[in-house]
Structure 1
Amino acid sequence: MAVGRSWSYAVAILASLAVVSCAQTDDPCKAKSRVVADDKYCDKYWECENGQAVQYDCPNGLVFAGKHRGVTEGCDYPWRSNYCEYPKVQINPPIGTEHCDWLYGIFGHETSCTRYWTCWNGTATEQLCIGGLLYNENAHSCDWPENVDGCQKHPLCNEDPNGNVPLGKSCNRYWQCQGGYPRLQRCPAMLVFDRRSLRCVVPPTDECEIPTTTLSPQEEEENSRPGQQQKRPEYPDGQPGRQRARN
């Protein structure tokens, strides 16, 4: 008899704790979206299921961004749009794999300033900054070199830190070195880049006739500028499923 009363008392205590835990955040069953953020932890959220509030975890390294937002299942990178601001914190510890501090995220390369890693479910994919840009650890994207601390000058500009350098076989595009860092430039209309004088001149030159008005696929790829949103690469594992952590 005493054992039965003790067990009933324990169940009552657990039930009251569950009610208190749920009371600390908005009731998702009263929300129009049926999903709400946890009030303490960025990487947790609540969803209404069968009239009950159920807690979920975002994939490791991501935080709750709102229903139909983020890179997957309403979760996004913590640094994007300030989804994880003080006093909220991430409660789940990082799960690291090769090149990845968390299972999901964007991380700097160990040995290169022009490369970085995108991690999706623990699988790292190497990415390359083009157009003379370097990876900015703070912005989590490719950026102008002067905004990136700790990287060496680009080898393209070794001979002249403020000179011009030919771009492959292109007739109207070239590298312009500024303080040791290259920036992609285009000659004005109807001019071509002269590899001898290293400036834009009236054609023809030894290598180029009248320039075309269209870009080659290589030039289109290299015509990249900071501030553009990064495209999320395709990943072999596809979209991750939600990690459920019922309370």
Structure 2
Amino acid sequence: MKTEVFYLLICLGVVTALTRKQEALEQNRRKVALPTLQKKQPPTREVLKEYEDEEELSDQCPEPNGYFPDAEQCDKYYDCRDGRPIEKLCPDGLVFNDFSPQHEKCDLPFGIDCTKRPKLQKPQPSPHCPRMHGYFAHEDPRICNTFYYCVEGKFNMITCPEGLVFSEKTGICNWPDEAQKKGCGSRELFNFTCPKVDESVAATHPRYPDTEDCQYFYVCVNGEIPRRSGCKLGQAFDERTGKCDWARKIPECKDWYKGQLTDEELDALENPPPKPKPSGGHGRRKGAKPPA
């Protein structure tokens, strides 16, 4: 009987021992397999969004702090603080000037390169102002010397000095040949063409009178490009000298200002009163010592 019990205990022990060994092997197998299963597990939506946000921040904020232009829109920029961008827009008609990340500056578009980011916000037009801010040409393309200066959608009409036209490229008045505004060239405006001359004369930029206005004349730059210029009030262009002089001294222009200025006014222009000497002091020479 004892022998049978002994054999039974041995058998039970063997079974128990084998079961524990298998358990240990199974646990080890699971430990090895767990990292593999974790690697194969797809990322959650939260993880993916975090990666997308980080990629977006790196595009909009090249540096953690500063002001940076949008890649596509010239009047949009980003105010970056600790790598987080705040999207901003310039006032309508102005664009972001990206000359320095340390400065937040919106400017008129003249002189700012927007070729790589040509998009702009939707215009907010008003009478004579295609956008709220800026310099804009007259609606009639035949009117070359008048333009509008718009601020907050309100306009001021400005006329260029005689002989100049508004340049849409620079936003200022310029010579017709430099403004290059269609229909506003020297030939269309003045009905004047520079006479053909040899190279030596052309190099002197010859001058020619305006046959319809004694006060004005044309300068032919390099003998080819006409630019209309003028003499000051009371004077006229003297073709013989190529200079301005008092109109009453030039036979063909002596009566030019009749009906515009009286003889007394012309006398005052030709003979201005001497400038008064500065008051005070005793006229000592500079650096002279005062009397002891």
TM-score category by the smaller chain?
Answer: 0.5 to 0.7
Residue 23 of structure 1 is matched in structure 2 by 58
User: How big is each residue's C-alpha offset from its partner over 1:145-185, in whole Å with a ceiling of 9 and x where there is no partner?
Assistant: 34443135359xxxx9833635xxxxxxx322569974223
Instruction: Work out whether 1:192 is the aligned partner of 2:251.
Output: no
Q: What's the offset of the Cα at 1:108?
A: 0.6
Evaluate the alpha carbon distance shift between residue 73 and residue 184 of structure 1 in structure 2; reply closer, same or farther with a 3 A threshold: farther
Q: Deviations over 1:38-75 (max 9, x none)?
A: 23332221213476321211122222103789xx9501
Q: Which residue of 2 aligns with 1:85?
A: 115
The reply on whether 1:107 has 2:107 as its aligned counterpart is: no
Q: 1:77 to 1:149 in 2, by over 3 A?
A: same
SS of equivalent to 2:77: strand
Q: TM-score, normalised by structure 2?
A: 0.49
In structure 2, which of residues 55, 74, 93 is the aligned counterpart of residue 42 of structure 1?
A: 74
How far apart are the structure 1 equivalents of 2:111 and 2:244?
A: 42
Deviations 1:205-233 (A, max 9, x none): 9563334399xxxxxxxxxxxxxxxxxxx
8 Å contact kept, 1:165–1:177: no
How far apart, CA to CA, are the structure 2 residues paired with 1:190 and 1:107? Answer: 35
Mapped contact 1:47–1:56 kept (Cα < 8 A) = yes
Give the aligned partner of residue 272 of structure 2.
212
Of Structure 1 and Structure 2, the greater helix share is in 2
Pair 1:177–1:25, CA change in 2 (3 A): same
Does residue 55 of the first structure (1) align with residue 87 of the second (2)? Answer: yes
CA distance in 2, matches of 1:122, 1:206: 47
- Hey, what's the Cα distance between the residues in 1 that align with 2:152 and 2:76? 18
Equivalent residue number for residue 97 of structure 1: 126
The CA distance in 2 between the partners of 1:52 and 1:73, in whole Å, is 16
Structure 2, unmatched stretches of 5+, are 1-43, 192-207, 221-225, 236-240, 255-261, 275-292
Q: Distance in 2 between matches of 1:150 and 1:161?
A: 23
Aligned residue number for residue 127 of structure 1: 158
Q: Which runs of 5+ in 1 are unaligned?
A: 1-7, 167-173, 200-204, 215-247
**CA 162–146 in structure 1, closer or farther in 2 if over 3 Å, else same:** farther
What one-letter code is carried by the residue in structure 2 that aligns with 1:130?
A: P
Q: Which residue of structure 1 aligns with residue 283 of structure 2?
A: none
Distance 1:24 1:213 in 2: 69
- The reply to whether residue 176 of structure 1 matches residue 217 of structure 2 is yes
Contact 2:149–2:158, Cα closer than 8 Å, also in 1: yes
Decide which structure has greater strand share: 1
Question: Do structure 1's residue 150 and structure 2's residue 183 form an aligned pair?
Answer: yes
Aligned-pair distance for 1:12? Answer: 6.2
Tell me the amino acid that sits aligned with residue 80 of structure 1: G
Question: What is the aligned length?
Answer: 183
> In the alignment, is the contact (CA less than 8 A) between 2:90 and 2:106 conserved in 1?
yes
Alignment of 1:236-247 (within 5 A): none
Aligned-pair identity in percent equals 22
The aligned residue for residue 5 of structure 1 is none
- Given that 2:123 and 2:131 are in contact with CA atoms closer than 8 Å, whether structure 1 keeps it comes out as yes
Whether the aligned pair in 1 keeps the contact of 2:231 and 2:244 (CA below 8 Å) is: no
